[in-house]
C-alpha cells in the first residue's frame, strides 16, 4: 500500500485519457506515476510504482 507524501493518507491508482496516476483518498493530492523495474528480495525484477512530480 502506498501512502500520501503530503498527509500520509492512502493512495490509490486510477487512470484517465492522459495516463495513470495516484490519488490520495484523504486530501485529494494527485501524482503522476511511472512503472519501473526494481529488484525484489529474491533477485527477480518486478514492476513497482514511482511517483513523479508534476511540472508547472
Q: List the chain domain ranges.
A: 2-52
Sequence length of the chain is 56
- Per-residue pLDDT at 56: 43
Q: What is the mean pLDDT of each run of 10 residues along the chain (56 residues)?
A: 88 87 91 76 69 61
7: left (phi over 0), alpha (psi -120 to 50) or beta: alpha
CB contact at 8 A, 45 and 31: no
pTM, to two decimals = 0.62
Q: Which three cell numbers stand for residue 11?
A: 493512495
CB contact at 8 A, 52 and 46: no
- Per-residue pLDDT at 46: 66
Amino acid at each position: 500500500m502506498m501512502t500520501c507524501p503530503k498527509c500520509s493518507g492512502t493512495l490509490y491508482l486510477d487512470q484517465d485519457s492522459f495516463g495513470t496516476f495516484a490519488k490520495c483518498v484523504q486530501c485529494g493530492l494527485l501524482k503522476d506515476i511511472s512503472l519501473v523495474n526494481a529488484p525484489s528480495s529474491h533477485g527477480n525484477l518486478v514492476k513497482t510504482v514511482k511517483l513523479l512530480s508534476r511540472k508547472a
